[in-house]
Homo-oligomer: A and B are copies of this chain.
Amino acid sequence: MPVEELTAEERDTWLRALPQWSLTREGKAIERSFEFADFAEAFAFMTRIAIIAEKRDHHPEWFNVYNKVDITLTTHDAGGLSLRDVNMAKKIDKLV
């Protein structure tokens, strides 16, 4: 099944369920920043996401420094946001 970019309407509908994620890159991606007690907690969080990402073959773009993790989700194959990003964001939200 090909992965399709969400329309602007679909995107806005889905994003209502993801209030902590912000649209970025002119609507082509979403991002959220996380803060933990320390590096060990931040990296443990990243490790859980890494396993989920690998299983789904859908990988985040992310930046980490010490206790902070910034995650950006986009679907390169779709040229923007797809349902895969929405589902991944929901899954990540459940981890924290």
In the complex, the chain B residue whose C-beta lies closest to that of A64 is B62
Interface size for A (C-beta < 8 A) is: 16
- Judged by a CB distance under 8 angstroms, whether A36 is at the interface is no
Q: How many copies of this protein are present in the complex?
A: 2
Q: How far is the CA of A39 from the CA of B54 in the complex (A)?
A: 7
Q: How far is the CA of A39 from the CA of B62 in the complex (A)?
A: 12
- Judged by a CB distance under 8 angstroms, whether A11 is at the interface is no
Task: Check A61–B61 contact: CB distance below 8 A.
Answer: no
- Judged by a CB distance under 8 angstroms, whether A59 is at the interface is yes
- Judged by a CB distance under 8 angstroms, whether A66 is at the interface is yes
Please report A residues at the B interface, Cβ cutoff 8 Å: 39-40, 43, 46-47, 50, 53-54, 59-66
